[in-house]
């Protein structure tokens, strides 16, 4: 964790079942989506890398979030994308879950965007 990393307490998420996701709109610049897959929590930026659409409005199956706008898919474990229309992945953040609740760390190194056409996405903001 670097000095500029921010930790955010999300509270008790023991009621979040496998296959469910929950949006925290006020965390980070775009909000985050916390989802549980195979018993493990994952945190992903709530913003599709293709055209800035909330991923929390999409579908979550297995370890994959599918964007509601054009169908780009992202693996919640590492933020990687499955291919077009996304040209790059999305940010993911470390999550810890204890009896005291869930904490997410907004790391400065969370970036999973590899440049290239990703910059184009900013021209097509949908929110
Ligand atoms: S905005 Fe997500 S796939 Fe286009």
Tell me which of 3.40.50.1220, 2.102.10.10, 3.40.190.10, 3.40.1160.10 is the CATH number of domain 6-124.
2.102.10.10
pLDDT tens digits along 13-65: 999 999 999 999 999 999 999 999 999 999 999 999 999 899 999 999 999 99
Task: Tell me the CA–centroid distance for residue 24 and ligand 1, in Å.
Answer: 20
The ligand 1 site (C-beta within 6 Å) comprises 48, 50-51, 53, 67, 69-72, 85-86
Lowest mean pLDDT among 75-79, 101-105, 109-113, 120-124: 120-124
Q: Which region holds residue 87: left if phi is over 0, alpha if psi is between -120 and 50, else beta?
A: alpha
Instruction: Give the N- to C-terminal CA distance of the chain in Å, as an integer.
Output: 31
Q: For residue 108, name the pLDDT band (cuts at 50, 70, 90).
A: confident
Please report the beta strands in 6-109, taking only residues with DSSP state E, as ranges in sequence order. Answer: 6-11, 21-24, 32-37, 40-45, 59-61, 64-66, 73-75, 92-93, 95-98, 101-106
| Closest C-alpha to ligand 1, atom 4 | 70
Res. 122: pLDDT tops 60: no
């Amino acid at each position: 964790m670097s000095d500029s990393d921010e930790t955010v307490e999300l509270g008790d998420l023991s009621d979040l079942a496998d296959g469910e996701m929950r949006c925290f709109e006020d965390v980070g610049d775009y909000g985050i989506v916390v989802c549980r897959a195979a018993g493990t929590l994952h945190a992903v930026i709530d913003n599709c890398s293709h055209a800035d659409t909330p991923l929390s409005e999409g579908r979550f199956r297995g370890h994959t979030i599918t964007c509601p706008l054009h169908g780009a898919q992202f693996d919640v474990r590492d933020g990687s994308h499955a291919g077009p229309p996304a040209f790059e992945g999305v940010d993911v953040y470390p999550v810890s879950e204890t009896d005291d609740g869930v904490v997410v760390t907004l790391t400065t190194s969370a970036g999973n965007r590899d440049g290239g056409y990703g910059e184009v996405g900013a021209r097509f903001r949908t929110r």
